[in-house]
Amino acid sequence: MKKIAVFTSGGDAPGMNAAIRAVVRGAIYHNLKVCGIVKGYQGMIDNDIHDMDSYSVSNILQRGGTILKSARCDEFRTSEGRKKAYDNLQKHNIDALVAIGGDGSFTGANIFYKEYGVPIIGVPGTIDNDIFGSDQTIGFDTAVNTALDAIDKIRDTADSHGRIFFVEVMGRDSGYIAIQSAIGGGAESVILPEKRATPDDVVRHLMNKREKTFSVVVVSEKEVSGNSIILAEKVKESLPDRDIRVSILGHMQRGGTPSAQDRTLASRLGLAAVEALIEGKKDMMVGIISNKLAFTSFFDSISHPKPIDDDLIRTMKILSI
């Protein structure tokens, strides 16, 4: 193996740049040439592939987003699109890939490896923290802290006006951002995709807190943003005398300066991905479990659920009485 390429795919996450930096400098340290693929699988198809060196990744550690950009690519879902991608990798003499992204990115990598045998190591980069095989994914810690900062501010105005605030956070099918920001933000209730709750459940919980003049309810967006609006409207029907407001945090959770934890995690995983390729590993993801590097096949990482620890749910339940 003489030359590898790195790309970011799917939703951006704070810390992706730190991972890119680690891959590039790790490759150079091990005497490998390295390329960057712009816009993920789309760039692979469009031949948007460029050589990188140590200076290419200078001063990016603290930046949010991804310098290699990201894009959804329907064409890569087709065999013709993947053939174009493979041919372009061959033109650049690229022997292996590091894919930084989430389950969609890893699904594409798994299919690509099966069809063409290109060694690929995945680095989990998604704020949702929904990838099996790693305790945390790159961007999750920063997203939680972004949500927590917003919840702290919303709590101030909720207290001032005696309001019930429904604060919607991201996470898709995963409630990790919701549960951790709810515990850290002292929320009175949390709505998770993993633990279905009805508007009546929320009303009963809030009714038990009549002595409180205000409340904050953290709501996971599920798959579609706006779930909190529907929930708030239904709760308002049962509590017509309460002033109820909704705040949807949205994509602000994807941006911003990555936390120290995300920078360190991304740096460890990026370097580990390069060294895994050198050791002959392929068709798998590198993660961190109990603060140790751990490798999980792409198939397992995308097919196994990552449930929320019951202890987090128990903690939230006890501390929100």
Q: Which residues are catalytic?
A: 128
**Residue 257 and residue 201: Cα distance in Å, rounded?**
37
Q: How many other CB atoms are there within 10 angstroms of residue 126's CB atom?
A: 27
Alpha-carbon distance 19 to 179, whole Å?
26
The single-letter DSSP state of residue 123 is: E
Q: Are strands 49-52 and 33-37 parallel, antiparallel or unpaired?
A: antiparallel
Please name which of 188, 37, 51 lies closest in space to residue 99, comparing C-alpha atoms: 37
Contacts of 192 (CB under 8 A, 6+ apart): 175, 178, 179, 220, 308, 313
Instruction: Please tell me what DSSP assigns to residue 309.
Output: P
Residue whose entry in the numeric block shows the structure tokens 């798994």: 110
> CA angle, 8 as apex, 296 and 67 as ends, to 5°?
145
